[in-house]
Amino acid sequence: MGKEREAPREVVRAACGKHGDDAVIDWCVAFLTGEISGEDAYGADLPKLVAITGNPNPGGWSAPVDPVNYYWIRVWAARVLLYVWRDDAVDALQVAARDPAWRVREHVARLTAQRELGQLVDALLPDLQHELPRVRATAARAVGAAGEAEHAEALQDLLEDPDLTVRVAAENALARLEKRLDRTFDRRT
C-alpha cells in the first residue's frame, strides 16, 4: 500500500516550517496573479509548487504539462491561503476572483467567507448564477459572510434555485447576513 497523502493543512504547515510563512504566501500570491506562469511553475519554480502541494509531481501529469491544467496551480495557491494568511494577499485574491477557472473562484469565495473579506463580494456576485450548484452555493456562503445589505437581493433570488443545496446555502447566508448586520430581509416564496 502506498503512502497516504498528507492533509492540505499539514502540507502548508510543513512548507511554512521549512520556508517561512512569508515565503509561502509570496509564492501563492505570485501563482495567483500570474507573476509565476504555469510554464515556470512546472519549470524553474517547481520546488515552490512541490512545497505548497506536498507532491513531487503536482497534478500527476507527464511532462510537458498541458497548459489547460495550469489553472490547478492557482487552485492550490488559493487553498494554501485557507491555512496561512497575510492581509496583503487580498490583492492577489482580487485578481483571482476574476479567474476564468471556476475552481479558482470557488476557493476565493471560500476565503472570502472564512476571512470575511467584504472587498471581494462584488467580484463574486456573478458566480451566484454559475451553472454548477456547488459554485452558486459557495458564492452564496461568501456573500452571507462578508456582504452588505445591498447584496441581500442576490441571495433572495437563490431561495428559489432548482438545487436544494443552493437554496439551503442561500437561506443560511441570508440568516448570517441578518445577524451580522442586525436587520431582517424578506424571504421570497
Domain ranges, ordered by start, for the chain: 1-96, 99-183
Cα separations (Å) of 45 from 74, 136, 145? 14, 33, 35
The answer regarding whether domain 99-183 maps to CATH 1.25.10.10 reads yes
What pTM did the predictor assign?
Answer: 0.93
Cell numbers for 22, please give them.
512569508
| Helices and strands in the chain: count of H runs, count of E runs | 11, 0
Give, for all 189 residues of the chain, the pLDDT tens digit: 455 678 999 999 999 999 999 999 999 999 999 999 999 999 999 999 999 999 999 999 988 999 999 999 999 999 999 999 999 999 999 999 999 999 999 999 999 999 999 999 999 999 999 999 999 999 999 999 999 999 999 999 999 999 999 999 999 999 999 999 999 998 765
- Give me Rg for the CA atoms of the chain: 18
